[in-house]
Amino acid sequence: MPPTSPVADPNAPSLELLTTKSMLYAAGVNHGVNPYLVMGLAWWESGWNEAAVSSAGAIGIMQVMPAAAESDGPVLLHRQVNLTDPQDNIDMGTAILAANLDRYHNDLAKALVAYYAGGAAVTDWADLRPDERHYAWGVYLLAVAFRDGKGPV
């Protein structure tokens, strides 16, 4: 009997998504950040769309502002970054998240609010705006879903 061809799963994620997931995971490990948190943040920000550009001008998978990349790239990565390059974008966004976690002594809510709205927005949980709380909870819940193998992809 001739061998049968494997049947592709129509619900399986694309190779592009698997590559993005691998890059996000590796960036988390490289920067000492929970990889599932990096995945959740990136999914919340762009749905892992490397071509995403926000109305504010944030670019790519991690939705990094060009001014942040220009100033933080040399400090955090010791080089300039190209935000349209998915690897650079992920590396820069993850480095910013790692720096936020360090700055706020691993207070996840504060680190996420800083990523979302900048350091001036960081305050106690009770004083956060509803959109800032929604952001922090949303990213956290996505990180848990990715950890448990139940993420959107």
Of 16, 45, 50, 70, which residue is the catalytic one?
45
Q: What are φ and ψ of residue 64, in 5° steps?
A: -95, 135
d(CA 77, CA 71): 10
Distance CA 46, CA 49 (A): 5
45 is catalytic: yes
The single residue listed with the structure tokens 């993850």 is 94
**Count of C-beta atoms within a 10 Å radius of residue 89:** 26
Question: Which residues are identified as catalytic?
Answer: 45
